[in-house]
Amino acid sequence: MALRLVFMGRLETVAGSGECAVPFAATLDTVLAALEPALADALTADTIRLAVNGALVNDTAALVLHDGDELAFLPPVSGG
């Protein structure tokens, strides 16, 4: 049982790779608690958005995860 975490943009640098698998946990708080503190801090910044299985999540407190879910962490995008 596992979750797939995907890190976009600058978060890939903080994580050290673009993605990783972590043991299944039912809540986002439990997932974040198992990560290195610097990465967990970066993922919980106010500007970071979360998508689960391709759908943006607005209320992470109500989020219930399922085995095999993909969590994508999205920093703000800038460009010109």
Residue 50 belongs to domain with CATH number? 3.10.20.30
Q: Which domain holds residue 34?
A: 2-74
Residue 72: which H helix or E strand, with range? strand 70-74
Using 50, 70 and 90 to split pLDDT, how confident is the model at 78? low
Which residue is associated with the tokens 């974040």?
A: 32
pTM, entire model: 0.92
For residue 77, what pLDDT is reported? 80
> Does residue 79 have a pLDDT over 70?
no
**Mind listing the pLDDT tens digit for each residue in 18-36?**
999 999 999 999 999 999 9
**6 inside domain:** yes
**41 inside domain:** yes
Rounded Cα–Cα distance for residues 77 and 64 (Å)? 27
For residue 28, what pLDDT is reported? 96
Q: Do the Cβ atoms of 19 and 5 come closer than 8 Å?
A: yes
**79 inside domain:** no
Number of H helices, E strands in the chain: 3, 5
